Amino acid sequence: MEQRLSDPAADPHALQRSTLRGNAESIGFAIMVAALVVTPFFTYPLFLMQAMCFALFACAFNLLIGYVGLLSFGHALYFGWASYLSAYAAKAWGFTPELAILTGTATAALCGLVAGLLAIRRQGIYFAMITLALAQMMYFFALQAKFTGGEDGIQAVPRGHLFGVIDLRNEAAMYVVVLVIFLAGFLFIHRVVNSPFGEVLKAIRENETRAISLGYRTDRYKLIAFVLSATLAGVAGATKAIVLQLASLTDVNWPMSGEVVLMTLVGGLGTIFGPVVGSFVILVMQFKLAAMGEWVLVIQGVIFVACVLLFRRGVIGEIANWLRIRL
């Protein structure tokens, strides 16, 4: 985190900057909301809904890597399993969409708790490997389990009626629901990051030993952050299953875990808007380049390399650094 702001006390512009920072975040948020309200009139709503699900997923992932410094390489587990359970609940048990999404979210929270308890005992590459191993275990479980439908996934998931009233087969209604879920998730993450709890998380990121010496039980903080991140990833996955009416192996397989890392990196690690921008960039790219087949992956690889070599702070991170604000 080399772009850390300098100590406010030593900086004469600190006060000015902190109000500027608050303003920049509000302005950024207003721009984002405005864009998400206006764009469905110009582009394909289904694509935007999907992009918002991925954006929330990336934000949830960023909560862990950007603010606690834990690189999880198994976030597909929570995203994918939430989408399976949400799809299954809606299809086989006839749950209404909000209950289906809650079912998926609860599944992700539970998986996050178990995986988190095991994984947070280790750090760095070991942490990443443990999360990856657990995610792959659950991937093979999804592959073999009867109810997930193997390679076919769970197809033709009914969108149903929200609260039993609002028909979600209407694209506009579905869009509003996804928008609300996304914004709620986004604001929740913003709140967490800017709370005293979030400050402790950042302290752990900067220097865990020091945080321990100050009397914080860092394992607990890390576990809570892990579960929160998994839960929010679950919200995203569960919503995606309802939107696309499909839950499939793609969402639970390891490339998905890699994709979310890429989205976060391209957008800007540890910035609140970065993952949103990153996921839109990656998805638009996949969407526009779909005709080029396997070249999409090659191009993604090139972008990843360019991102690491040329602008390490990501799109938003670079802009923020350039304008000397925090986004």
Partner 1 sequence: MRKILGLATLVVASACGGANAQQVTVKVGVLSDMSSLYSDIGGAGSVAAAKLAIADFTKANPNVKVELISGDHQNKPDIGLQLANQWYDVEKVDLIIDTPNSGVALAVSQTSNAKNKVFVVSGAAASDLTGPKCNANTVHWTYDTWMLANGTGKALVKTGGDTWFFLTSDYAFGHALERDTMAAVEKNGGKVLGKVRHPLNTNDFSSFLLQAQASKAKIIGLANAGGDTINAIKAGAEFGIVKGGQKFAGLLVFASDVNALGLQTAQGLTLTETWYWDMNDANRAWTKRWQAERGAPGKFPTMVQAGVYSGLTHYLKSVVALKSATDGKAVVAQMKKTPTDDALFGKGSIRVDGRKLHPAYLLEVKAPSESKYPGDFYKLRATIPADEAFRPLKDGNCPMATG
Give the number of other CB atoms < 10 A from CB of residue 300. Answer: 18
Min. distance of Cβ 150 from partner 1 in angstroms? 5
* Residues of span 42-71 touching partner 1 by CB under 8 A: 44, 46-47, 50
Count of residues touching partner 1 (by CB under 8 A): 23
Contact map string, positions 126 to 145, toward partner 1, x by CB under 8 A: -----------------xx-
For partner 1, the closer of residues 44 and 93 by Cβ is 44
For 232, residues 6+ apart whose C-beta sits below 8 A from its C-beta are 56, 57, 59, 60, 63, 185, 188, 189
The bridge status of strand 161-162 relative to strand 166-167 is antiparallel
Question: In degrees, to the nearest 5, what angle opens at C-alpha 54 toward C-alphas 52 and 58?
Answer: 115
Question: Does 41 sit near partner 1 (CB under 8 A)?
Answer: no
Question: Does 246 sit near partner 1 (CB under 8 A)?
Answer: yes
Which stretch, 23-31, 58-66, 244-252, 315-323, contacts partner 1 (CB under 8 A)? 244-252
Neighbouring C-alpha atoms within 13 Å toward the C-beta of 157: 32
Question: Does 152 sit near partner 1 (CB under 8 A)?
Answer: yes
Question: Does 303 sit near partner 1 (CB under 8 A)?
Answer: no
- Residue 154 forms beta bridges with which residues? 247
Question: Does 257 sit near partner 1 (CB under 8 A)?
Answer: no
274-288 and 295-310 helices cross at what angle (nearest 10)?
Answer: 150
Cα separation values, 290 from 153, 250, 284, 299, Å:
21, 16, 10, 11
Which stretch, 100-108, 185-193, 265-273, 288-296, contacts partner 1 (CB under 8 A)? 288-296
Binding site for partner 1 (CB under 8 A): 44, 46-47, 50, 143-144, 150-153, 155-156, 244-246, 248-251, 290-291, 293-294
